[in-house]
Chain A
Amino acid sequence: MNKAEILIIDDEPQIRKLLEINLESNDYKVWQASTAKEGILLAANHPPELILLDIGLPDKSGHEVLKELRTWYNQSIIILSVLNNEADIVLALDNGATDYLTKPFRTAELLARIRSAIRRNSTPNNSSIIVCGDLEIDLTARIIKKSNEILKLTSTEYQLLVMLAKNEGRVLTHQYILKEIWGVGYQTETQYLRVFIGTLRKKIENNPNQPSHIITESGVGYRFV
């Protein structure tokens, strides 16, 4: 089996070393760049399956690099940053980041995010059945099953779930979800979103108070896993 290739763009040698050891021992092939320029060049010459991008690069902001990469690169990009303010995270996601992790991060969490991001690359988006743990979504028949039992969802709940599930592993911002489901002009009506996430959780989660499918990303959005 071919090893998935990952490009690390980070100026901190310690972080690169740590990532390199972790990723290689998990059977990934690792490329490294310490500046934005070098990173973009490497990505262009040898497009990897996934890019781990630091926001605080010496020669250019990671946000800029992200925008530049997104003009032609459509595989996953995970942002690694010490900045954990919500505005920054939302900006990165709006600019096309697949995911966002703040330093310090836990290795298991990073590996899980990488796995799910790479899986997203390889699964074709046109499959008519999405399976996620105990959930099964049949897009053609519009049927949702949880542990093989059919769930009754309202049409908005169904739309919301399908949208989240199609973007499995990815953080969708409040604004994005509201615009997609309710349309332009509803971007600030997060209370609608809360209501439907609440009712959806009651139907699909084993314990709605400790959700395992729809994860809240505080001040940013939701992630489906």
Chain B
Amino acid sequence: MNTRKYSKPKQYLISIALILFTTLLCFFIKNTVGYKIIALILLMAVSITAMLFEILPVLISAILSGLILNYFFIQPYFSFKIDNEEDILLFIVYLLIALVNAVLTSQIRKEESKARDKEEKENTIKLYNILLNSLSHELRTPISAIIGAVDTLKEYKDKLSQHNQIELLDQIELASIRLNRQVENLLNMSRLETGFFKLNLDWCDTNELIFSILQKFSLIKTHVFQFEPVENLPYFKYDRGLMEQVLENIIHNALNYTPPNTVIKIEALHAAEKLKIVISDNGNGIPSNELHTVFEKFYRLPNTKTGGSGLGLSIVKGFVEAHHGSIIAENNPTTGAKFTIEVPAEASYLNNLTNE
């Protein structure tokens, strides 16, 4: 149980209230059950507080219940005096059990929380290791490609055909672009983690944004892009730079995880006070048991080719959520994956008025 659920004053209040309530209950049944049973019932109430709260409120309820037992239920009633020796023993044993109960439970909980902390720390270390492994792999691969290509060009320039020289230069270019993207992703991740960014909200022409992104991918011939702009789509207020990253990362993801000739389709529409952008493809889709994990940090689909850091989609989610929006990954009924982004955004139909 988690003691952090209740504030300190609340813990005192609830434990005292519980004891008083139990006392009231016992008052009604004291003639049928006798005071020894009542002692057990009160002890149970103390045990309940011990399970819920920190040590101090529990100690107070232990002592309070002991005094109540003595005052109301042990003869002579309404006095702290005890005549009978057996009753004195009962009272002392009661207090002892209540106090030991309080201390032991609190100690057990302390151990539990220590174990939990340790587990959390181990998980952090595990995550950190995954990060380092993934990072060193994702950074070193393109660096190796660059160094290798440069070495080859320097050493064997005379033996290489013109075609192969250009091929090597292309490899250097690709590797550098990939490195740059990894750095960009890392920077974005750390911006998200530290919360060190402010939304730069401004009116955006979403169709224009998508066209400009597609222009960046215009060199890619392995996949087919489809975008039919909705005429009269209003302007929306959002952070254009972040939205650009969101869409680019999803498209990169689709390029990495779908076979050649896959069609990547983008739609942008105004639905229920929200900007809705859907990016779907007709590739192989995402295994259904993995759908809920794709946005997790460092998550990579098992048995897929390399090329990602596992950061792209978690950044996407972070940026969408920074806009108070949502993103869902699902599979199309026929084939392929589908990402749906919904961002609540102010819309302006000013663009559809004829000007002047």
Contacts and interface: CB of A to CB of B under 8 A. Distances in A.
Interface of A: 86-87, 104, 154-156, 174, 190-192, 194-196, 198-199, 209-210, 216, 218-219
A18 B351 CA distance: 45
Given A155-B356, A156-B355, A210-B211, A192 B205 contact: no
Given A86-B200, A209-B211, A216-B208, A191 B355 contact: no
Contacts of B239: 219
B176 A195 contact: no
Given A104-B176, A210-B211, A218-B240, A194 B356 contact: no
Contacts of B208: 198, 209, 216
A86 B198 CA distance: 11
B180 interface: yes
B355 A218 contact: no
A196 B355 contact: yes
Contacts of B240: 218-219
Query: What's the dominant secondary structure at chain A's contact region?
Result: helix
Contact of B203 (A86, A194, A216): A194
A199 B244 contact: no
A194 B205 contact: yes
Contacts of B176: 104
Contact of B350 (A154, A174, A192, A209): A192
Nearest to B203: A191
A44 to B, nearest CB: 36
A218 B211 CA distance: 13
A83 to B, nearest CB: 11
B215 A218 contact: no
A195 B211 CA distance: 17
Contacts of A174: 202
A219 B202 contact: yes
B69 to A, nearest CB: 68
Contacts of B353: 195
Given A86-B241, A216-B212, 12 more contacts: A87-B200, A155-B356, A156-B355, A174-B202, A190-B202, A190-B203, A191-B350, A194-B205, A196-B355, A198-B208, A210-B215, A219-B200
